[in-house]
Amino acid sequence: MSNAALDLDDILGLPPEDDTPTNAPEKSRIGSPGTSAMTPSQQSQCLEALALIIDKKFGGVKSRFAEALGLTPQGLAAWLRRKTIPASRVPQIVRLGEGLVQPEDLRPDLWM
């Protein structure tokens, strides 16, 4: 699914990753509605899938994608910060992508 032409940070508007090690424990998402703990690799896969849809179907405009989902841009930004999407939104996003992504691309922790 990787596409070298896609610059995820630009499309998704994410800040550069800080590779500085930290002693702080990672926050668990277990128990949060519609989320589960995903590995960094799974999070990257999810973000790549979202970036592909935003780029190819919405001209790279995140606010248009958010509107199509019935979200505010701030709601979409929260998903991107968490690097995961609610499982309940996967079917809707797959439909919006019109074959560009599959459920396992968006939530590899749930669809294997």
Tell me, yes or no, whether 63 lies in a domain.
Answer: yes
What is the model's pTM? 0.70
Asked whether residue 6 is assigned to any structural domain, the reply reads no
pLDDT at 2 (0 to 100): 45
Residue 14 lies in a domain: no
> What pLDDT, in 10s, does the model give residues 11-57?
666 555 544 444 443 443 333 444 458 999 999 999 999 999 999 99
How many domains does the structure of the chain reveal? 1
Model pLDDT, residue 111: 78
- Asked if residue 55 belongs to a domain, the reply is yes
Classify residue 71: in a domain, yes or no. Answer: yes
pLDDT at residue 19, as a whole number = 45
Containing domain of residue 99, as a range? 37-112
CB neighbour burial string for 22-40, b if at least 16 within 10 angstroms, e if fewer: eeeeeeeeeeeeebeebee
When computed from its CA atoms, the radius of gyration of the chain, rounded to whole angstroms, is 14
